[in-house]
Amino acid sequence: MNNYNYLNYNRYNNRMKDDFPFSKMNNNQDLYSPKEGFEKGNMFSNTYSEYNGYRPQKLIAKSEQEENLLNIQAICFATHDLNLYLDTHPNDQSMLMLFNDYKRKKEELLNDYEMKYGPITVDSSSIKNDKFNWIDSPWPWEVNNV
């Protein structure tokens, strides 16, 4: 571990108040859960500061599909934010372990979503070589509850 390791992967995180499916993965006291970090735009609680009293809104899904997308967006954000941290702290093994955990969880959530609802991106692994099923899912304007 480097000398600047102020984050300890083994401490318990008392900030885990939501029931996000993988919030228990984060045992770090100085990190927000992926969902809370996504809402605030920062995974690191010790560097977060509100902008002129702005309070982030709680993101509330209206359907199971929206909830799954929200979970994917949150874990992607958490992975990206930890990636930025690791760019400047490459020897922090505890954060690397957490980054790898989040990467695995992201792949799991993406696979689950694509099995239920179809591909999210045009280069998705759920697109079959014999059929271009990217266009099979409803487009955003075709969804009834928009």
Look at residue 137 and tell me if it is in a domain.
Answer: no
Look at residue 85 and tell me if it is in a domain.
Answer: yes
* Res 146 pLDDT > 80: no
pLDDT in tens, 20-49: 433 333 445 589 999 999 998 889 988 877
pLDDT in tens, 56-75: 888 899 999 999 999 999 99
Look at residue 104 and tell me if it is in a domain.
Answer: yes
Look at residue 15 and tell me if it is in a domain.
Answer: no
Could you list the residue range(s) of the whole structural domain that residue 43 is in?
24-48+56-123
Look at residue 145 and tell me if it is in a domain.
Answer: no
Q: For the chain, how many structural domains are there in total?
A: 1
Residues 75, 112: Cα–Cα separation, whole Å: 14
First to last CA, the chain: 48
Look at residue 107 and tell me if it is in a domain.
Answer: yes
Look at residue 67 and tell me if it is in a domain.
Answer: yes
